[in-house]
Amino acid sequence: MTTATERVPEAMPESDGAWRSLRAFLRNPSAVIASLFLVFVTLVAIAAPLIYPEDPLSMVTRPFLWPGQNPQFPLGSDTLGRDVAAGLVWGSRISLIIGIAAMALGVTIGIVVGAAAGYFGGRIDDALVRLVEIFQTTPSFLMLIVLVAIAEPRVESITVGIALVTWPTIARLVRAEFRSLREKDFVTAARGLGYGHLRIIFIEILPNALPPIIVTSSVIVASAILMESALAFMGLGDPNRISWGSMIGAGRETLRTAWYLTAVPGVAIVLTVLALNMIGDALNDALNPRLSSER
């Protein structure tokens, strides 16, 4: 095994991009731990209906059961006698769904706007950059609160709201990448072969711009989870779904007497966001050719 991994870079000093990046990623221990943790959280989220078939919002025992007091409720119960462990498991669903969906939507909008601005330049660029600036100069969390307050606080509207405040980051990044990539010889060559704008944008340029987009996406999932938690903490989350943020919000009043009610979901948020950020850093190291040691 060791000989194999040692010999590979020798045999292929410039081995194929994706595989080399994957190897670099897997060589980073914190990235592997973070990925395993996220896989675990994802599995828990998927299996939530199997682990706790009952509604996590229903009262199942006496209130203020401390963790470890009753083996049936390992993480105790909250002010209304709801099972904290069930809330944690079901809450991971909301966090992950909103985090990933908001990232996907935001990244899609960001790529379309950024690609159009960076590729075409000129007036299209001017107009789109102004639009991005309007979003970037407005405090994003305030805007998110306003958006969710106007719409009904539901998973869908929260997702759209978070996407609307995160896409400008991606748009700026994609625009910068496209501005430099559109001048490359292979783009001129593609135009010389009669390719249309869409074909050049999506087949020729976008794959070259993907590494920084992937890195930023993982960080955006983390910040989307944080934003959802903050909204839920303030009572602006979906009232029919339990989330880590709403658990913290509910436990806030008893912070001095039953601190575990805020600490348990808090730790879940911290670990998940930390894992996503660590993956983002590791991806950055693995995908960024300027930082890789093989150059």
Partner 1 sequence: MTAKLLDVSSLTIAFPRGTPVADFGFAIGEGETVAVVGESGSGKSLTALAIMRLLPRTARIASGSIGFRGRDLLALPEPDMRKVRGREIAMIFQEPMTSLNPVLTVGKQIAEVLRLHEGLSAEAARKRSIELLDLVRVADPHLRVDDFPHRLSGGMRQRVMIAMAVACRPKLLIADEPTTALDVTIQAQVLDLLDRLRRELGMALMLITHDLGIVGQWADRVVVLYAGRGAEEADAGPLLEDPLHPYTKGLLAASPRLDARLHYTAGALREIPGSIATAQREPGCPFVPRCAMALPSCRISPPPLEEIRPRRLLACPPTAAQEQANASAVGR
Point out which residues bind partner 1 (CB under 8 A): 14, 16-17, 184-186, 188-196, 199, 203-204, 207-208
CA distances from 193 to 19, 115, 184, 208, 221 (A): 30, 21, 15, 19, 39
**CA-to-CA distance for 114 and 120, rounded, in angstroms?**
10
CA distances from 137 to 28, 110, 156, 294 (A): 37, 16, 25, 40
Nearer CB in complex with partner 1: 112/210: 210
Nearer CB in complex with partner 1: 64/195: 195
Nearer CB in complex with partner 1: 187/273: 187
Nearer CB in complex with partner 1: 67/212: 212
CB of 295 to partner 1, least distance (A): 12
CB of 170 to partner 1, least distance (A): 19
Nearer CB in complex with partner 1: 248/287: 287
141 and 166 Cβ atoms separated by less than 8 Å: no
CB of 12 to partner 1, least distance (A): 8
Instruction: Please report the beta strands in 112-223, taking only residues with DSSP state E, as ranges in sequence order.
Output: none
CB of 15 to partner 1, least distance (A): 9
Nearer CB in complex with partner 1: 32/125: 125
CB of 7 to partner 1, least distance (A): 17
Nearer CB in complex with partner 1: 181/225: 181
Which residues pair with residue 77 across a beta bridge?
83
Give the closest residue to 215 by CA, choosing from 95, 96, 93, 107.
Answer: 107
Give the closest residue to 231 by CA, choosing from 132, 127, 151, 117.
Answer: 151
61 φψ region: left (φ > 0), alpha (ψ -120 to 50), beta (else): beta
- Tokens matching residue 29: 């221990």
CB of 200 to partner 1, least distance (A): 10
CB of 112 to partner 1, least distance (A): 20
Residues making up the chain, counted from first to last: 295
CB of 23 to partner 1, least distance (A): 16
What DSSP string describes 71-96?
TTSTT-B-TTSBBHHHHHHHHHHHHH
**Residue 82 — φ and ψ, nearest 5°?**
-90, 150
Nearer CB in complex with partner 1: 62/199: 199
